[in-house]
């Protein structure tokens, strides 16, 4: 990792998110024009095979303000969900939401980072991470940790932003990501943190390349789903037996 990339990793860290935690949800909705809700729903649906029967245990890494963890619990009434994040500020917003959501004593939040998951081997049926893998400095290590805590056959779902594709709509999406997002982010947050977003998206590997990285860390790739002109991708993988 070169010096510039290191700088990006620090910019996406838990400490940075502590500073914007109270405004994160609003910024998120405005910058994605609300589209992120549909992406999350799609992600929740892909957990079905492992979350609908028995007593499934799900882990949402880089849970932030907890939207995906809470949506998983709502969709899968038999599931217990743990949301993990290094930012106490983000988790405090998540906990407020949990208390408002009815019946969500099945969800709990915990401080921790993707590269050192504080859980036993093979203790989860499903692991998700939305808009978080980009912020993990050592991604192969993070992926290996997710493989370790998943049971063989367990499901990994990664939702992540990507550099939009070409064509007219791809071009519009690029304009959005490169100009509108950093402008609105800097304006509304009153800080420069959101400029990191555009740079970190550009620094993230192309989807096929990242899918190969997932496969090299103990997973079988099941699906690679482009969303909204390639503005995001949903990676669906399964923990390989015996790895
Ligand atoms: C863009 S937010 C995404 C939050 C949430 N998953 C969502 O979909 O809105 C990225 C989150 O990654 C967390 N994060 C940063 N470094 C991390 C690490 N090493 N391991 C796990 N999470 C990390 C940040 O604290 C932040 O809450």
User: What does the pLDDT look like over 22-55, one tens digit per residue?
Assistant: 888 887 877 777 788 899 999 999 999 999 999 9
Q: How many domains does the chain have?
A: 1
Question: Which CATH number characterizes residue 156's domain?
Answer: 3.40.50.150
- pLDDT class of 63 with cuts at 50, 70, 90: very high
240/38 Cα distance (integer angstroms): 29
pLDDT cut 70: percent of the chain above it: 81
Bridge partners for 236 per DSSP: 157, 223
Mean pLDDT of the chain: 87
Measure 62 CA to ligand 1 centroid, in angstroms.
Answer: 4
25: which residues sit within 8 A by CB, 6+ positions away?
65, 67, 93
Structural domain for 83, as ranges: 3-239
Pick from 14-28, 143-157, 196-210 the range whose average pLDDT is largest.
143-157
pLDDT for position 2: 42
Pocket probe for ligand 1: among 68, 135, 195, 200, the residue whose CB has the most ligand atoms within 8 Å is: 135
Q: pLDDT value at position 39?
A: 93
Does 85 contact ligand 1 (Cβ within 6 A)? yes
Tell me what pLDDT residue 11 has.
67
Cα–Cα distances (Å) from 170 to 85, 179, 201, 228, 235, in that order, read: 32, 14, 15, 9, 20
Helix, strand and coil percent figures for the chain, each rounded to 5 = 50, 20, 25
Q: Which atom of ligand 1 is nearest to the CA of 66?
A: 5
The Å distance, Cα 243 to ligand 1 centre, comes to 26
Q: Which residue has the higher pLDDT, 243 or 89?
A: 89
- The pLDDT tens digits for 91-149 are 999 999 999 986 589 999 999 999 999 999 999 999 999 999 999 999 999 999 999 99
Q: Which pLDDT belongs to residue 56?
A: 98
| CB-CB neighbours of 13 under 10 Å | 17
Return the best residue to mutate from 6, 64, 110, 200 for the ligand 1 pocket (most ligand atoms within 8 A of CB): 64
- The partner residues of 4 in beta bridges, in order of sequence, read none
Q: Give counts: helices (H), strands (E), the chain.
A: 12, 7
């Amino acid at each position: 990792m070169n010096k510039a990339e290191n700088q990006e990793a620090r910019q996406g860290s838990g400490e940075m998110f502590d500073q914007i935690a109270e405004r994160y949800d609003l910024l998120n909705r405005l910058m994605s024009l609300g589209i992120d809700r549909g992406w999350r729903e799609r992600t929740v649906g892909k957990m079905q095979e492992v979350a609908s029967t028995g007593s499934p245990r799900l882990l949402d890494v880089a849970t932030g303000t907890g939207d995906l963890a809470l949506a998983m619990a709502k969709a899968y009434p038999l599931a217990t969900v743990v949301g993990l994040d290094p930012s106490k500020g983000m988790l405090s917003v998540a906990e407020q939401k949990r208390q408002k959501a009815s019946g969500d004593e099945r969800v709990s939040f915990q401080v921790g980072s993707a590269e050192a998951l504080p859980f036993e081997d093979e203790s989860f049926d499903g692991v998700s991470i939305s808009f978080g893998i980009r912020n993990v400095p050592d991604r192969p290590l993070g992926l290996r940790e997710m493989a370790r805590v998943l049971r063989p056959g367990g499901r990994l779902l990664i939702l992540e932003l990507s550099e939009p594709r070409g064509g007219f709509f791809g071009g519009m999406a690029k304009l959005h990501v490169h100009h509108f997002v950093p402008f609105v982010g800097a304006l509304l947050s009153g800080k420069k943190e959101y400029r990191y977003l555009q740079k970190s998206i550009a620094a993230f590997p192309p989807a096929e390349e990242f899918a190969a990285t997932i496969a090299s860390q103990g997973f079988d790739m099941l699906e690679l789903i482009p969303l909204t002109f390639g503005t995001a991708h949903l990676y669906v993988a399964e923990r390989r037996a015996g790895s």
